[in-house]
Amino acid sequence: MLRAMTDPHPSSADLAYATAGEIMDRLVQGTLTSRELVATLRERIEFLEEHLELNIVAGLSEDALAVAEERDDERTRGEIRGSLHGLPVLLKDNIEAVGLPGLSGSTALIGRPTRDATLVTHLREAGAIILGSVNMSQWANMRSTNATAGYSASGGLVANPWALDRSAGGSSSGSGAAAAAGYAPLVVGTETDGSITSPASLNGVVGLKPTVGNVSKQHVIPITNEQDSPGPLTRCVADATLLYAALSDTTPPAARDTLSMTAVTNWRCGHLATDALVAAVIEDLRTSGVAVSSREAQKPGFDEGGDELYAMLCEYRDDLDAYLAGRPGEGPRSMAEVLRYERDHSDVECQYFGHEQMIAALATNGRASSDYAERRGRVTTWAQGTILEALGDSDVLLAAAYGPAWKSDLTLSDRGVYYSSGISVAATAGWPIMCVPIGQINGLPVGMTILGRANDEYTVLQAAGVIENVVRSRGIEQRATFRPPSRG
């Protein structure tokens, strides 16, 4: 990975932008301890959060240094817990972990979690150090149709480390920004529809949304069990593979000898320079010997009746109610109680926009609605069939991701958002989608998406690694620039 010459906190830059693999090598060789690593990253985080006002971090673990020392002692004794032994991990703030906020960006959820999400248990069992949690779009962007991506009442507006007035995407805004800013080598986000893919593309990092169900959602604040999935955000594909294996508790299979890819030519993002760069990278893949065919596929116009949104609203009502009813401690026990809280505290909760989507969800009868099953079945069947038809005999599909990050605007909300049709198709299908950075447009990163069949994450990851190698051969800088806000 190329390195920039300057950094806002140069004393930590070496460790901040090392890959998990590089860090692990140093831990094994004894030239670095986990305690030194955690202390350095905490110093970087505290400095950048204060001086650049990035609003990335929701909370830091009070016991991270003690756990790091414990992992060092275990390593000295030859007791290695697993593949992540001694590596720090940051979590999106809708994932419960003992001692961290777990607010989903809201001030309504009183009291810190007293339990770990199952995925956090997997991480601890693999030897990871939970470093802290990161800010996000409030209620995972399922709150207002006028919301600004990356904003929450509890944490403010997340800044993009490449350019501080640009969007960090949503809803895993803090997860993508944390990876780009060098806060940790491994970060966990969640996606329902674009919430890992968007921050990965806009922040110039790697992101994977796995097949729904392949990473546990237990004690993760939901939108819908039919489309939600936690997944990794990292600075390289190898680290995403490492983190996914720990999250899913799976063993990566042997790599395929050959990979076939199909570029979906009409799943463009609509931003001319970005679409041209995607086309150029695809030609580079072909030149390097990768089998890449091209074809058109159906585009979402299928949902003119609003089937996906309607199904999600029904599921949102049921799934958030169920989560809140079972959440230990104080706080709202239903979506209706959340709305009452937000109305009572509108000066904080509704300072910039409201909660129309929650109101719409409450107006449904949940999954008991008479036409819910039909509409969910229709839209899911369409999306899965579209992917399979486009794949044909290929292993993966390639398409644009998003255009360059737009300027964040809390008054007028998000504008100028360019994105590929394939993102919503994969989200609705519940199948894996990945984003890998391919370069910059005017100094802002953009990515390419890779779609695969259900439960075929490792093929998608392998394809991402091939693309990453081709992009690196172009000499693309992959280090955030921390540009200050610009005028106009």
Q: What is the DSSP string of 14-66?
A: HHHT--HHHHHHHHHHTS--HHHHHHHHHHHHHHHHHHH----EEEE-TTHHH
The phi, psi pair for 276, rounded to 5°, reads -65, -40
CA distance 199 to 172: 6
Q: Tokens at residue 228, please?
A: 């939600």
**SS3 string of 38-50?**
HHHHHHHHHHHHH
* 191: β partners: 229
Q: What is the dihedral of CA 333, 338, 341, 345, to 10 degrees?
A: 150
Handedness of CA 452, 458, 463, 467 (dihedral sign): positive
List the catalytic residue out of 12, 92, 106, 394.
92
Is 217 an annotated catalytic residue?
Answer: no
Is 171 an annotated catalytic residue?
Answer: yes
CA distance 106 to 445: 29
Q: Are 167 and 149 in contact (CB under 8 A)?
A: yes
Nearest to 399 by CA among 316, 324, 297: 297
* Residue 118 three-state SS: helix
* Residue 231 three-state SS: strand
Is 92 an annotated catalytic residue?
Answer: yes
List the catalytic residue out of 137, 171, 175, 421.
171
List the catalytic residue out of 195, 201, 420, 421.
195
Q: Tokens at residue 157, please?
A: 């507006």
Question: What does the radius of gyration of the chain's CA atoms come to, in whole angstroms?
Answer: 21
Q: Are 147 and 141 in contact (CB under 8 A)?
A: yes
Distances (CA, A) of 23 to 33, 88, 186, 350: 9, 10, 11, 42
Q: Are 475 and 2 in contact (CB under 8 A)?
A: yes
- The set of catalytic residues is 92, 171, 195
